[in-house]
Amino acid sequence: MRILTLALIFLWCSPGFSLGSKPYLTLEMAEKMADACENIAKESNWRPVNIAIYDDGANLKLFRRQDNSFLHSIEIAHLKAKTSAGLPMSSRALGDLAYQDPKRPHGIEQVSGLVVFAGGLPIMTQSNTHIGGIGVSGATADQDEECAKTAIDAVSDLLK
């Protein structure tokens, strides 16, 4: 048994050995995304925003708060990002799903921690692998979503 364990450790550490790997969100990607989002918010003269970026395991990768952004928007940005990190859909699309038929509520809007309005987007690779979510809050909901979209577009070359 000990020899088998040592052999597996040797293989695991050997160059070129792989059990297959999944794309993942890097800190470099998150920083580039936050930079792009901050730039469009400043250039467009929007209210200052909070930017939260999570990986697909709901682990915070990066958070930024622009000067004078709303205090409560911090938590909203986190919730938007976690919503889209946990489900491969935008927080807006989740809201559309929740409220599509007022006579038959979906119920998802009652799940604690999910946001059902614009500003959270999933981070997807070009091969449609879900690697995280970004949430922006502080400007209008549409501007928050545009900021998040600009952020994802800024790393499109890295989402292969």
Q: Where are the domains of the chain?
A: 23-158
Strands 130-137 and 120-124: antiparallel
Rounded Cα distance between 133 and 122, Å, is 4
Least confident of 23-27, 77-81, 96-100, 121-125: 96-100
Report pLDDT digits (tens) over 5-51. Answer: 544 455 455 555 455 688 999 999 999 999 999 999 999 999 999 99
Is residue 100 scored above 90 in pLDDT?
Answer: no
Helices 91-99 and 73-86 pack at an angle, to 10 degrees, of 80
Rg, C-alpha atoms of the chain: 19
Rounded Cα distance between 95 and 30, Å, is 25
Task: State residue 3's pLDDT score.
Answer: 64
Report yes or no: 83 and 91 within 8 Å, Cβ to Cβ. Answer: yes
| AA identity, residue 156 | S
Helices 141-154 and 27-43 pack at an angle, to 10 degrees, of 130
Rounded Cα distance between 132 and 124, Å, is 7
Task: State residue 158's pLDDT score.
Answer: 94
Q: At the topology level of CATH, where does 23-158 sit? A: Beta-Lactamase (3.30.450)
